[in-house]
């Protein structure tokens, strides 16, 4: 892996509005009512991150050309419709005022714009690293367009990549296909977004900080200016070279997963300790400024498309370098144990008998407000229980179709929340969707044989549900013994 810092010649002064014109749709869209003070932007990849980011940029006044190989996504953007499931995206698209269009022609889009953001998939490899099989072809096409482009251009890698990738294979692809060295008419930055599906728009517009890995100061200045004009808060900015930005991206997410896992460890201890309450413990922990309250909820493991793989990628990098990353490895192992921990809790509450009881799993997306089931704790729990021979019914407000593609006929799919609840002897609320707060106590009521409700996030109406079920809040220990009993045991000792 190359750690070259990109000390090429500085780019010529940035002159917005001087991009080469092209007669195609991308070019005409990029010149449509383009504000003279703003650079024109290209967003490559209109998936779950690219579409919301393109919409946000266009809503803030930038003229944006989205690029994708999927005709359905291109057509949706052209029609002002969301091509992906993301809360608030339709509303954001409505605010773009004709400044956002889409095309499959990346070369034309590069010619028609001043800055290209690459937001393509970088799938995990078997060793934990990230593949560049989509990023490299994009860079080659961009580079070919830069070969004949007379105005300065900035290429921004936004997808998560391994440290050394931006200033290594990606820069090399751009240089070889353009016939120009980095700094000769074009610059290169690595700038990942710290966003979560379900809140991409909010997180993008109000980031905790901006991370810019720059090939040179002029490129960093240009990118920072664009981001400053887009965000709605005043975040700190970390400007470093690309390899340190790439490592920071992995380090941030690995630290967060460590914090989540630590809180879950405390929750497991609290669940077994009479009188213990994880919410009281973590609330006190969060008051220490060295720790902070974020990600200390104490519930189930992390999932999704970023946290698990970024943690694995840092471990992979350490192994490649001959360094140790045992903490990251243990965090990953502990997180994987979390599903079995919930499964064991379910087994302990199943009714006895030949049928072994029925289980309802509420929540299949890895978090609320998204349909993504990748590494979802709910989906993994449903599969674990089904593999154990249990009768499992599942429900999720958004992720049913994606879950069916994974679970197939191993489980039953409820038509609505009530049907799911009524199908279980043990009901597990594992993803904290707000919709689950609408569970009616009457759905759970079964006097002759009370159902068990496992509330993994302790966010349901405990008082109402305890009256009709065996309510089990994860992370809350059994009732503490009376003080007199404790005193007697001390005297005997």
Residues known to be catalytic: 306
Q: How far apart are CA 406 and CA 386, in angstroms?
A: 13
Beta partners for residue 115, in sequence order: 41, 154
Cα-Cα-Cα-Cα torsion 125, 246, 249, 363, nearest 10 degrees, comes to -20
Cα three-residue angle 368-369-372, rounded to 5 degrees = 80
Q: Comparing C-alpha atoms, which of 42, 18, 157, 14 is closest to residue 109?
A: 42
> CA-to-CA distance for 108 and 26, rounded, in angstroms?
6
CA-based nearest residue to 299, from 270, 329, 331: 270
- Pairing between strand 41-44 and 115-118? parallel
In the structure encoding, which two tokens stand for residue 29, read together?
């869209």
Distance CA 26, CA 90 (A): 22
CA geometry: angle at 15 spanning 11 and 21, to 5°? 105
H or E segment to which residue 394 belongs: strand 391-395
Tell me if 475 sits within 8 A of 281, measured CB to CB.
Answer: no
**At 53, is the secondary structure helix, strand, or coil?**
helix
Residue 152 near residue 12, CB atoms below 8 Å? yes
Rounded Cα distance, 279 and 297, in Å: 7
Contact 343, 388 (CB under 8 A): yes
């Amino acid at each position: 892996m190359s750690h070259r810092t990109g000390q090429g010649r500085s780019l010529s002064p940035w002159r917005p509005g001087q991009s080469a014109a092209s007669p195609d749709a991308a070019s005409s869209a990029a010149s449509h009512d383009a504000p003279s003070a703003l650079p024109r932007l290209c967003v490559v990849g209109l998936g779950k991150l690219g579409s919301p980011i393109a919409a946000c940029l266009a809503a803030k006044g930038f003229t944006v050309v989205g690029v994708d190989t999927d005709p359905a996504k291109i057509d949706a953007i052209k029609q002002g419709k969301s091509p992906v499931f993301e809360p608030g995206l339709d509303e954001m698209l409505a605010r773009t005022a004709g400044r956002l269009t889409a095309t499959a022609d990346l070369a034309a889009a590069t010619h028609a714009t001043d800055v290209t953001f690459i937001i393509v998939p970088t799938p995990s490899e078997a060793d934990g690293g990230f593949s560049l099989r989509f990023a490299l072809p994009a860079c080659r096409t961009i580079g070919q367009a830069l070969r004949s482009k007379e105005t300065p251009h900035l290429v921004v890698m936004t997808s998560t990549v391994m440290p050394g990738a931006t200033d290594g294979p990606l820069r090399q692809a751009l240089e070889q296909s353009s016939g120009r060295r980095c700094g000769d008419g074009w610059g290169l930055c690595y700038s990942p977004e710290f966003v979560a599906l379900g809140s991409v728009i909010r997180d993008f517009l109000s980031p905790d900080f901006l991370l810019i890995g720059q090939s040179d100061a002029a490129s960093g200045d240009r990118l920072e200016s664009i981001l400053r004009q887009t965000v709605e808060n005043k975040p700190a900015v970390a400007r470093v070279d690309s390899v340190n930005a790439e490592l920071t991206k992995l380090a941030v997410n690995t630290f967060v997963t460590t914090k989540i896992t630590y809180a879950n460890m405390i929750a497991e201890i609290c669940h077994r300790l009479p009188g213990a309450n994880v919410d009281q413990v973590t609330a006190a922990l969060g008051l220490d400024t060295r720790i902070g309250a974020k990600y200390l909820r104490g519930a189930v493991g992390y999932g999704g498309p970023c946290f698990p793989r970024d943690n694995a990628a840092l471990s992979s990098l350490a192994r490649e370098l001959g360094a140790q990353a045992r903490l990251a490895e243990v965090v990953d192992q502990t997180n994987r144990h979390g599903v079995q921990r919930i499964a064991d809790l379910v087994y302990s509450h199943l009714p006895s008998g030949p049928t072994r009881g029925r289980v309802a799993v509420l929540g299949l997306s890895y978090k609320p407000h998204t349909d993504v089931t990748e590494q979802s704790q709910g989906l993994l729990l449903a599969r674990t229980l089904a593999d154990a021979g249990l009768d499992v019914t599942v429900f999720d407000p958004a992720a049913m179709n994606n879950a069916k593609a994974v679970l197939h006929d191993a489980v039953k799919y409820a038509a609505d929340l009530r049907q799911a609840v009524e199908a279980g002897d043990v009901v597990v609320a594992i993803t904290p969707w707000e919709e689950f707060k609408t569970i009616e106590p009457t759905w759970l009521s079964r006097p002759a044989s009370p159902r068990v409700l496992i509330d993994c996030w302790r966010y349901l109406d405990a008082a109402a549900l305890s009256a009709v079920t065996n309510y089990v809040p994860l992370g809350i220990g059994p009732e503490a013994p009376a003080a007199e009993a404790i005193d007697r045991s001390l005297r005997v000792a």
